[in-house]
Amino acid sequence: MHIIKATMDDLPAILQIYAEAREFMRRDGNPNQWKDKYPLVEIVKRDIDLGFSHLCVDNDEILAVFYFCIESDPTYAKIDGAWLNDEPYGVVHRIAVRRDVKGVGTFCLNWCLGLCDNLRIDTHEDNRPMRGLLKKLGFTYCGIIWVLDGTEERLAFQKVLRQESDLPSSS
């Protein structure tokens, strides 16, 4: 497996993976996280145009799609709880994995951690598979954030690979 940046040529496959993920979530007791055909085509195209849409590929087959960027995410500015730190961080959004392959979510999140040792992610309370993956990978639950329009809450998680105490002292 390896990670590549998505291109507009990948759009049909990406939209298919998102459609399958929405259907899986509905069947698995999570009908509200990606309702109304989220992520919309316009969002997916913007992610690709910005260079933040990534694909996990194996033998030329797309296994997963996700948004990854090192940025200050406005939805993470306010949290009912506390982040582990206020250092620059990477963000993962809109991760969707084909259901017929195992270990892909772990591979994608570990790839992100390899680029940024301070990673934030959020998910719907009903998304048991994602919450289980985040727990397995050692992410810490930090509190509740709200989507940009303030209408829906999400559970927020963070993982930091290197703590300030791990840094050499400046004495």
Question: Any idea where the domains of the chain sit in the sequence?
Answer: 2-162
61 or 31, greater pLDDT: 61
Percent of the chain beyond pLDDT 70?
94
- d(CA 20, CA 96) in angstroms, rounded, equals 9
**Cα-Cα-Cα-Cα dihedral sign, residues 81, 84, 87, 89:** negative
Whole-number average pLDDT of the chain: 91
Six-digit token pair at 23? 């259907």
What single letter denotes the amino acid at residue 25? M
Neighbours of 84 (CB within 10 A): 16
Give mean pLDDT, residues 75-96: 95
Segments in 33-127 forming alpha helices (H): 41-50, 104-115
What would the mean pLDDT of 24-49 be, rounded to a whole number? 88
| CATH 3.40.630.30 matches 2-162 | yes
Average pLDDT for 142-168: 81
Residue 127 amino acid letter? N
For the four alpha carbons of 127, 122, 157 and 102, in that order, the dihedral sign comes to positive
pLDDT value at position 28? 84
- The model's pLDDT over 118-139, given as tens digits with 9 standing for 90+, comes to 999 999 999 999 999 999 999 9
Instruction: Round to whole Å and give the CA distance between 92 and 115.
Output: 12
Rounded mean pLDDT of 148-169? 76
Q: Is the pLDDT of residue 168 over 70?
A: no
Exposed/middle/buried for residue 144 (C-beta within 10 Å: 0-12, 13-18, 19+): middle
| Nearest Cα to Cα of residue 97 among 70, 144, 129 | 129
